Structure 1
Amino acid sequence: MIDECLVAEFRIEGDDCPLARATEDAAVTVDAAAPQLRTDGNVLLRFSAPLDDRLATTLDRDERIRYLHVTGGDDTCTYRCLSKHPCVVHELVDEGFLVESMQYSGGGATMRGAVVGYDVLRGVMEKAGQTVGITLQRVYPLRADEDEPIGRAWDLTPAQEESLRVALELGYFAIPRERTANEVAAELGISKSAFLERLRRAQQSLFQTIFGESI
């Protein structure tokens, strides 16, 4: 039995993916589930983003996107569609990369997942080296108490999970507070209001999970 399971995070740049292009044109951040490749080569996509008509308009104009369905919320929308564009992530999946989450922003994508053993990691890295614009951001062992991603266990989006983690690392939650919201937002590369909104939503999800939906 292989004991070593590793968490890996990759950044994709330069891929002509419809979601990546849309985040560049509409200037939004998209949190996506792992894309599902059909036997006919088309890809099923499910993702969410802040309420913004520009994203739906941009995707509607992309001839590679079909059957776009949007479910609106107070300030977040969930999208489902079929894409005729093959995702480069499937090349890594074929080598053993288990995708947990993907986030598109600024014309690129960050994907986080797991590999079982260093031999599989080497194979994934070799494939990444042959693929346009993929770089390894970080890799670390998966702890025994991390059977599922933090975001999935606590119903957090990848953006919310990242905001909480960075805020904690920088001392935003320390007493007295070591960093301001502006400083954490700058580290994340987003506005102060966007950081505080992510923080508010993450805290709401955590509290609802702990205390129940009745709060």
Structure 2
Amino acid sequence: MIEECLAVEFRVTGDDCPLAVATRATGVPVDCEPPQHRDDGNELLRFGAPHSDALAETLDADERIRYLHRAVDGDRDEYRCLSKHPCAVHELTNAGFMAESLSYRDGEERHVGAVVGHDVLRGVLEAAGETVGVRLERVYPLGPESGGSGATRRWDVTPAQEAALRAALDMGYFTVPRGATASDVADELGISKSAFLERLRRGQDGLLRGALR
């Protein structure tokens, strides 16, 4: 039995999958569950994004997307569809990468997941080296203290809360003096100020609870 499990994060650039293209065209961030591959070559996709008609129209116009469904939930949209175009994550998955979450920002992707043992990690890194635009961002041991079943369960933070925290950090919301206001970050995320502050509060709470366990 292999005792070590490693959390891994990849950054992907230059992918021409529908979600990457749509976020590049609209600037709307997308958080996606790992795609499910069908025997007929199609991918089952389930993802969410800030409410945006532009994103919905861009996806609907993409001939590689079929059966697109959008459910509006307040200031956020939840999508389901079929895609004829495989994502770069499949090359990593075939080598042993267990994807937990995918996020898309302005055409770039962030894949978070896990691998079991260093031998599998070497194979995944070889696959990454042969896949255009895939770069290893970080890797660290995933121990019992991480909780849950995967790398994204290391902290009790949802993808939307993580996006709010990252945007706030990148834009200088936490600096003194502040480099951006709550309204600035909310506009960047395409959500209301109150929604941003609520996600920020819940995200910070999840991070602190995870760190203090």
Which TM-score band applies after superposition, normalised by the shorter structure?
0.7 to 0.9
The 3 A distance-change label for structure 1 pair 179 and 146 is farther
Aligned pair 1:112/2:105, yes or no? no
How much has 1:198 moved relative to structure 2? 4.1
Aligned pair 1:24/2:6, yes or no? no
Match of 2:83 in 1: 83
TM-score (norm 1): 0.79
Sequence identity of aligned pairs in percent?
54
The 3 A distance-change label for structure 1 pair 154 and 141 is closer
User: Matches of 1:4 and 1:165 in 2, distance apart?
Assistant: 29
Match of 2:34 in 1: 34
Match of 1:203 in 2: 201
The 3 A distance-change label for structure 1 pair 61 and 139 is same
Q: Is the 8 A contact 1:23 1:104 kept in 2?
A: yes
Structure 1 window deviating more from structure 2 (117-126 vs 192-201): it is: 192-201
User: Matches of 1:117 and 1:147 in 2, distance apart?
Assistant: 18
How much has 1:159 moved relative to structure 2? 4.6
Q: Is the 8 A contact 1:101 1:111 kept in 2?
A: yes
SS of structure 2 residue aligned to 1:16:
coil
User: Matches of 1:39 and 1:12 in 2, distance apart?
Assistant: 25
Q: Deviations over 1:5-28 (max 9, x none)?
A: 111000111111100000011111
SS of structure 2 residue aligned to 1:182:
coil
TM-score (norm 2): 0.80
Give the 5 Å matches for 1:1-215.
1-148=1-148, 149=150, 156-161=157-162, 163-164=164-165, 179=176, 182=179, 191-193=184-186, 194=188, 197-204=195-202
The 3 A distance-change label for structure 1 pair 29 and 178 is closer
User: Which ranges of structure 2 fall in alignment gaps of 5 or more residues?
Assistant: 206-213
User: Which ranges of structure 1 fall in alignment gaps of 5 or more residues?
Assistant: 186-190, 208-215
User: Matches of 2:156 and 2:146 in 1, distance apart?
Assistant: 15
Q: Is the 8 A contact 1:51 1:77 kept in 2?
A: yes
Give me the CA root mean square deviation.
Answer: 3.0
The 3 A distance-change label for structure 1 pair 71 and 205 is farther
User: Matches of 2:5 and 2:80 in 1, distance apart?
Assistant: 31
The 3 A distance-change label for structure 1 pair 182 and 150 is farther
Q: Deviations over 1:96-117 (max 9, x none)?
A: 1010111001112101000011
Q: Is the 8 A contact 2:168 2:185 kept in 1?
A: no
The 3 A distance-change label for structure 1 pair 141 and 155 is closer
The 3 A distance-change label for structure 1 pair 58 and 162 is closer
User: Matches of 2:66 and 2:151 in 1, distance apart?
Assistant: 32
User: Matches of 1:75 and 1:25 in 2, distance apart?
Assistant: 20
User: Matches of 2:87 and 2:108 in 1, distance apart?
Assistant: 12
The 3 A distance-change label for structure 1 pair 3 and 151 is closer
Q: Is the 8 A contact 1:100 1:113 kept in 2?
A: yes
